[in-house]
């Protein structure tokens, strides 16, 4: 399958950072590395950095960003009125900017003295279900300022349902910084996490102890990035497939002929080793009826997170099966109508695998 063309906006970000790829190749990887190197330099200048809170404080200080976190509707009113009283008219419609899809709004202050250490205000929506995205949202906004130093925007809104190439790049940068490997690896070692044999219960326990402020999915994804073993993290929900959702959005489906939602891998996250070894499960694939993921979703399994041996060939899409390959699957409920599953190659020594017949 041919690769999608590289976005001109991504090339421009690379140009701003001095990233030049011979032959006009994709600068994404180098852009991420350059942003991480920039933050490491700040840590050397302003450190020592002993915690993720320290790291966030240093990055925000260097970028002159102040965070306002909304925990209640009253917080939104208070933030708006406080900045309007300082003649910051960018906050005039703040109450209209946030909807169910909007995670953050960044506003450049217009009436700050040149020597002020507050140039931008990032308003982070942490109300209700968005609480688990607060940590990542902060880093996503910082990522824009790290990666686009020449962009002097006055206002920007970030939505959770982002698909723009630049927003996806910012998610990559934010994911690396929110779980900075310089801090994460020692932390994983301190909690005795065996990265050679990823265990869903152990990783969840690690998240509760070390990252209670971050979502389970984001924390697991970050930890698995450090694993030398191929791993795929799946979020399974009962959904229509992508093409059916688009047809429905365009009004092309009618009640009498509407397809039935089925349990699908609505997100699939592959760690670097899985990508290197081509260990894939594709997004929107239907979850096999025989899989432990199905049983957990249906509530038929009392002992969740047990490692079960299955076969990758059970997964099928458009009449094509994945390769015949033994895999280990661990699954758990993650809220209403949602299952998280970790899939790795079979015969992981540190796990007691129950072989399915």
Cα distance between residue 176 and residue 185, in whole Å: 12
Q: Which of 139, 158, 178 is the last residue of a domain?
A: 178
Percent of the chain with pLDDT over 70: 86
Give the domain-ending residue among 153, 178, 203.
178
Average pLDDT over residues 231-259: 74
Q: Residue 306 domain-assigned?
A: yes
Q: Are residues 102 and 212 in the same domain?
A: no
Do 234 and 201 share a structural domain?
yes
Q: Give the pLDDT confidence of 123-140 residue by residue, as tens digits.
A: 999 999 899 899 999 999
**Domain region containing 75:** 8-178
Looking at the structure, tell me whether residues 192 and 73 fall in a common domain. no
Average pLDDT, rounded, for the chain? 87
Last residue of a domain, one of 158, 178, 198: 178
DSSP line for 103-156: EEEEEE-SS--TT-S--EEEEEE-SGGGGGGHHHHHHHHHHHHHH-TT---SEE
List pLDDT tens digits, range 137-184: 999 999 999 998 766 666 666 666 656 888 989 999 999 999 999 999
Residue 22 in domain: yes
Instruction: Considering only residues 316 and 248, tell me which one the structure prediction assigns the higher pLDDT.
Output: 316
As a whole number of angstroms, the distance between CA 15 and CA 20 comes to: 7
Judge if 197 and 255 occupy the same domain: yes
Question: Which position has the token pair 């280990």?
Answer: 328
Q: Per-residue pLDDT averaged across 1-8, rounded?
A: 62
Question: Does residue 42 sit in the same domain as residue 147?
Answer: yes
Does the pLDDT value for residue 99 go beyond 70?
yes
- The answer to whether residues 306 and 168 belong to one domain is no
Letter string b/e over residues 19-37, b meaning 16 or more CB atoms within 10 A of that residue's CB: beeeeeebbbebbbebbbe
Please state the domain count of the chain.
Answer: 2
User: What pLDDT score was predicted for residue 219?
Assistant: 94
Q: What is the pLDDT of residues 319-330, one digit of tens each?
A: 899 999 999 999
Residue 3 placed within a domain? no
C-alpha closest to that of 269 among 318, 222, 307? 222
Do 161 and 251 lie in one domain? The reply is no
| Spatial contact of 158 and 167, defined as CB atoms under 8 Å apart | yes
144 and 21 both lie in a single domain: yes
- Same-domain pairing of 225 and 339: yes
pLDDT band per the 50, 70, 90 thresholds, residue 338: very high
Under the banding of pLDDT at 50, 70 and 90, the label for residue 235 is: very high
Domain assignment present for residue 1? The answer is: no
pTM over 0.85: no
Does the pLDDT at position 7 exceed 90? no
d(CA 299, CA 206): 25
């Amino acid at each position: 399958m041919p690769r999608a063309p590289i976005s001109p906006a991504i090339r421009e970000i690379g140009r701003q950072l001095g990233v030049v790829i011979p032959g006009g190749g994709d600068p994404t990887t180098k852009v991420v590395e350059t942003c991480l190197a920039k933050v490491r330099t700040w840590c050397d200048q302003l450190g020592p950095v002993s915690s993720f809170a320290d790291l966030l404080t240093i990055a925000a200080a260097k970028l002159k960003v102040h965070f306002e976190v909304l925990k209640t509707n009253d917080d939104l009113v208070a933030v708006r009125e406080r900045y309007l009283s300082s003649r910051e008219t960018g906050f005039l419609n703040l109450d209209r900017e946030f909807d169910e899809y909007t995670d953050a709004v960044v506003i450049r202050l217009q009436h700050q003295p040149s020597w002020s250490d507050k140039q931008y205000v990032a308003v982070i929506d942490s109300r209700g279900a968005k609480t688990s995205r607060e940590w990542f949202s902060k880093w996503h906004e910082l990522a824009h300022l790290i990666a686009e130093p020449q962009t002097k925007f006055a206002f920007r809104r970030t939505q959770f349902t982002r698909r723009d190439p630049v927003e996806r790049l910012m998610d990559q940068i934010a994911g690396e910084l929110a779980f900075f490997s310089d801090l994460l690896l020692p932390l994983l070692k301190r909690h005795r996490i065996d990265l050679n044999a990823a265990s869903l219960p152990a990783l969840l326990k690690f998240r509760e102890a070390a990252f209670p402020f971050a979502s389970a999915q984001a924390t697991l994804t970050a930890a698995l990035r450090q694993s030398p073993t191929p791993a795929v993290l799946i979020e399974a929900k009962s959904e229509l497939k992508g093409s059916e959702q688009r047809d429905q959005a365009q009004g092309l489906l009618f009640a009498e002929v509407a397809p039935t939602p089925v349990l699908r891998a609505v997100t699939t996250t592959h760690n670097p080793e899985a990508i290197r070894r081509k260990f894939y499960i594709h997004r929107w694939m239907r979850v096999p009826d025989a899989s432990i993921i199905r049983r957990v979703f249906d509530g038929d399994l009392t002992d969740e997170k047990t490692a079960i041996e299955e076969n990758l060939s059970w997964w099928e899409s458009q009449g094509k099966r994945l390769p015949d390959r033994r895999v280990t699957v661990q699954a758990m409920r993650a809220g209403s109508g949602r299952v998280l599953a970790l899939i790795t190659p079979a015969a992981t020594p540190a796990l007691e695998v129950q072989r399915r017949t």
